Structure 1
Amino acid sequence: MTVSPGTARPGQGPGYVACMGVGMLQVDVGDLTFDVRTDGPDDGPPVLLLHGFPETSLSWSAVTPLLAQTGLRTYAPDQLGYSPGARPLDVDAYALTNLVQVTADLMTALDVPVAHVVGHDWGANVAWGLAAWHPDRVRTLTAVSAPHPTAYTLAYRADPEQKERSSYIALFRQEGRAEEVLLADGARRLRRVLEAPGLPAEAVDAYVAQLSAPGALTAALNWYRALSSGNHVDPVDVPTTYVWSDGDVAVGRTAAEACADQVTADYRFVELSGISHWVPEQAPEQLARTVLDRIASAGALTP
């Protein structure tokens, strides 16, 4: 395992990061190389932030400074398929079980045995899986927008409104067709997915540029194509906060409120009013405050 910049010193194991403050690391996990944005003091309690579709680690850029100023050390990777050096071709590589294992392996490569984990959208799905299958790696969990996978599945089956909200997934699972539709006319449809009041135009441009690279959008859509009803996720026994916004077009209240049944540890439900699906960009102060409250509840920080 290799992390750069930074070199291991005598007595320090693989994954040592000789880095402080804002930066970008390249982290090797087997034959995969992940780009990881960092912020905060290198000896601060670690926080792992996992982005969703169709974004990158840039989505956390307004959140991480607020966490770092309290002494936390943040790691925000461009996830599997989003980092150019971590873009396997096999659809099965993007199954949730593998996404979670790769994330755990990335933590090991960063020399982060346990972290406070924050995930948005698809990143929240990975975070839920990490907390369920590797609870020893997750000190606290803050899941944003995407509910626990079991809560989502139950709502999808029972709630016609949630089924309608999820109808876009059928297009995303169509190999070739989805890429054609989303990238046509200067990626007009992809830009429309991201359109929301308060979402910085420069961020949208950056996301579209990254996903317009050869193979990038296909890799990101493979997360949807690898979806399987066989990937059951158990309830989590980790202190958890779930953040849902009432302006989210993809996730309705039924799925959001069902999360409470999927957490056996201390649980909090935070509802944001007037915010769309893009919570990290639209409500960074509220989200950072929520994350800090959750971390403080574990005795790891006094805001």
Structure 2
Amino acid sequence: MEIKARGLTFDVYEGGPSDGDPVLLLHGFPQDHREFDRLAPQLHEKGLRTYAIDQRGTSPGARPADVGAYRMSEPTADAVAVLDALGIESAHVIGHDWGAVVGWWLASGYPERVRTLTAVSVPHPKALGLALRVRASQRARMAYFKLFQSRIAERFLLARDAAALRAMFQPIGATGDKYVESMQTEPGRLTAGLNWYRATTGGSPDSPGIIRVPTTYVWSDRDGVVGLTAALRTRDWGDADYQLVAMRGISHWVPEQAPAALADAALARIGLV
């Protein structure tokens, strides 16, 4: 369905029992709502109602041109506005990659709207900031940020039939082809996705603070982006029930590579296991 909010139009994909407790699913880059296609049915089986948003830059009707429109306060406000439009007072939130960052911002700034948070792959931003300061290995893992923020990013990622994008999805093989195709064929979608990186200021004083909602952080040891230090230090930013779930042998693409294990972690956090 289409949800109009904040002057934009968001594509939102709902599923599960109409009377189920709501779960907000927030995707990352360079994916969209489809990254939850193997997770959502397992939540539906437990009686949950899911709402997967194609976030700012991914929904064609929510693709502003200005880089500043992708500062984290904006997609966070989008999520709140979509909940308002759906008449949902509060929801369980599951976010992956940039969707996890939005989840951290939601839980910090709007705790009354978040029943539980399951953040996947990306840790609390301040824990990540600490790791970037003290671990050269973490800085090396995230060196790609400078490329994604550069003017050549689009040309680089789409060159030679999007070879670089396809390489990113190597751990999940052909599953990633649909996202590559969308980036190749939808005008402005890749640039909008890269604008999330370009709008990043890093260490800003309004970044998420202490999290006061029950939270699970899911980290995987084959994730090329986030190292162990950031994963472990995420606990420092929680003031509610918290759990770190570490997956072995799984890459950054957790929802598609390990949907059953992720469902177990999310359902345990929600209280249905």
Tell me, yes or no, whether TM beats 0.5.
yes
Q: CA deviation at 1:200?
A: 5.2
Q: 2:238 aligns with which of 254, 258, 263?
A: 263
Superposed CA deviations along residues 216-271 of structure 1, whole A, max 9, x for unmatched, are: 10000000000013242111100000000000000000111010001110000000
User: Which moves more between the two structures, 100-109 or 66-75?
Assistant: 100-109
Q: 1:120 aligns with which of 96, 103, 106?
A: 96
Indicate the residue corresponding to 1:160 in structure 2. Answer: 136
Q: Distance in 1 between matches of 2:191 and 2:240?
A: 37
TM-score, with structure 2 as normaliser: 0.97
Indicate the residue corresponding to 2:170 in structure 1. Answer: 195
Give the partner amino acid of 2:189: A
Indicate the residue corresponding to 2:182 in structure 1. Answer: 210
Q: Which runs of 5+ in 2 are unaligned?
A: none
Indicate the residue corresponding to 1:147 in structure 2. Answer: 123
User: Structure with the greater relative contact order (CA < 8 A, sep ≥ 6): 1 or 2?
Assistant: 2
Q: Which runs of 5+ in 1 are unaligned?
A: 1-24, 297-301
Q: Distance in 1 between matches of 2:79 and 2:68?
A: 16
Q: CA RMSD in A?
A: 1.0
Superposed CA deviations along residues 42-63 of structure 1, whole A, max 9, x for unmatched, are: 1100000101111111000000
Q: CA deviation at 1:30?
A: 3.3
Identity, % of aligned positions: 50
Q: Distance in 2 between matches of 1:82 and 1:273?
A: 30
User: Which moves more between the two structures, 163-172 or 204-213?
Assistant: 204-213
Give the partner amino acid of 1:104: V
- Taking the TM superposition and a 5 Å limit, the aligned residue runs for 1:1-303 are 25-175=1-151, 177-196=152-171, 199=172, 201=174, 203-212=175-184, 213-229=186-202, 230=204, 231-296=206-271, 302-303=272-273
Q: Distance in 2 between matches of 1:195 and 1:109?
A: 37
Q: Distance in 1 between matches of 2:6 and 2:105?
A: 21
Which one has the bigger helix percentage?
2
Give the partner amino acid of 1:153: G
Please give the secondary structure, in 2, of the residue aligned with 1:74: strand
Q: CA deviation at 1:31?
A: 2.4
TM-score, with structure 1 as normaliser: 0.87
Q: Distance in 2 between matches of 1:154 and 1:238?
A: 22
Please give the secondary structure, in 2, of the residue aligned with 1:274: coil
Superposed CA deviations along residues 47-103 of structure 1, whole A, max 9, x for unmatched, are: 001011111110000000000011000011111000111100111110011111111
Q: CA deviation at 1:37?
A: 1.5
Q: Distance in 2 between matches of 1:136 and 1:277?
A: 29
Q: Distance in 2 between matches of 1:167 and 1:232?
A: 21
Count of residues in correspondence between the two structures:
270
